[in-house]
Chains A and B, each alone.
Chain A
Amino acid sequence: MILPVLAALLVATGVFLALRVAPVEAFQGEPYRILYIHVPSVVASYVAFTVTFVASVLYLWKRERRFDRVAYASAEIGQVFLTMVLLTGPIWGKPVWGTWWTWDARLTTALILWFIFAGYLMVRAWSGAQGTRTAAVIAIIGFLDIPLIHWSARLLRTLHPRPAVFRPEGPDLPSSMLLILMVNMAAFLLMYLALLRVRLGQERLRDRLLEERAL
């Protein structure tokens, strides 16, 4: 019970801070505020995908159903966050750079990742018993393919703002913005965990139901 409440509170706080408290950005103006949703969504989706990857490896190795449940739940939630990324990206881009879509490396990778996730979810939905193992392999090779996708996407043009936060030299945002961004980041990660908990609970229940029905 604590987790969802905490997550909800933090998200509300984060949104308030982002809209009312955060200073206006000199160059981009008000639209930049979508950064506070866009970036945390990216982080949350990548965390989700990593969890799916690790859980898939464990599932193939140990064959325990609980790993498969985690992989599936995390993939679903990650896909939701990733959809947010793909929606907020263009919404940010249009007022700032004048175009809805750019084939820059980060956005392209996110888009391809979305398709890989979609494939994962479709395999699970449309297969027989072996679907879980097949999906696990997809998650694994998809995860390993991401660096390559990113590399090849960089061979295309880059219009994305130079990374302001995730740079080797350290973040480049003024501390006030950085702080609010961190708050939202934490909020989104908590939201991910809360949703994961709920989804996992559903899957466990479903498994038990199927077992008991057949007894």
Chain B
Amino acid sequence: MRPLLAILRKDLTIEGRARELAPSMAVLALLLLTAGSASGMVNAAPAMLWITLLVAASLGLARSFHQELDQDQLSALVLAPINPVLIYVGKGIANLLVMIAVEGVTLFAFTILYNVGVPREPGALALVLLLGTAGIVMLGTLLGAMVAVARTREVLLPVLLLPLAVPLLVAAVRATEKVLAGQGIAAVSSEVGVLASFALLFGAAPVVLFEFVVRE
């Protein structure tokens, strides 16, 4: 527990001081939403929202692992007597918090630019947002670590993330559509099923695979 909290605290402190991730992701998200709205995508509002979140996440998460490589910090982490998965979990939670902050701003702009009203069942929307965001962050953190450790081109993060995230995208968009149109939790049960399975898969996979990612 102590190592996990230490890693989480470290990541949040660094983000708090460097302030690299959250602002750039937020600005990018706002730009995408604006471009979409201006070019007439208002009818496809839910799609616009989730694509924006995915793209902003994929660009932000690519950077988040770099701080472990510029001075070979990762070696020291791998050497420490901790379960390597904790590195993933700590980083994941930190990324989630950053993502939630970015999402707050994004949602605010979204309701304004796309003329979105309050849904009849806000709880349902919150659930979809939560599951969707968790899924994006879990997969994105894993891929971010992989792309950084392999010293491969940063553009590969979105290239890898987007196809794998298709189930999340499809389910989240359809669920958001339905909820914004006034439907309730029951109507989006299969979509929530997909989102939950996705979160489960990409929550469980790193537990097994992360060690192989970080140890040479």
Contact = CB atoms under 8 A, between A and B. Distances in A.
A and B touch in the complex (CB under 8 A): yes
Interface of A: 60, 112-113, 115-116, 118-119, 122-123, 126-131, 133-134, 136-138, 140-142, 144-145, 148-149, 151-153, 155-156
B209 interface: yes
B171 interface: yes
A151 B156 contact: no
A127 B201 contact: no
Main secondary structure of the interface of A (DSSP, over half): helix
B156 A126 contact: yes
Interface in B145-169: 146-147, 149-153, 156, 159-160, 162-164, 166-168
Contact of B194 (A123, A128, A144, A148): A148
Q: How large is the interface on B (under 10, 10 to 19, 20 to 34, 35 or more residues)?
A: 20 to 34
A146 to B, nearest CB: 10
24 contacts: A60-B209, A113-B163, A119-B160, A119-B163, A122-B156, A123-B150, A126-B156, A127-B150, A127-B152, A130-B149, A133-B150, A133-B212, A133-B213, A134-B150, A138-B146, A141-B201, A145-B201, A148-B167, A148-B194, A148-B201, A151-B197, A152-B170, A152-B194, A153-B166
A115 B162 contact: yes
A15 B132 CA distance: 47
Contact of A112 (B147, B163, B194, B209): B163
B205 interface: yes
Contacts of B139: 141
A128 B151 contact: yes
A65 to B, nearest CB: 15
A69 B146 CA distance: 20
A129 B215 CA distance: 12
Q: Which of B171, B202, B209: most chain A CB closer than 10 A?
A: B209
Which 10 residue pairs across A and B have the least CB separation, nearest first?
Answer: A115-B163, A152-B167, A127-B152, A127-B150, A134-B150, A148-B167, A152-B170, A130-B150, A119-B160, A128-B151
Contacts of B201: 141, 144-145, 148
Nearest to B151: A128
Contacts of B152: 123, 126-128, 131, 134
B133 to A, nearest CB: 17
A137 B212 contact: yes
Contacts of A153: 166, 170
B170 A141 contact: no
B166 A112 contact: yes
B205 A140 contact: yes
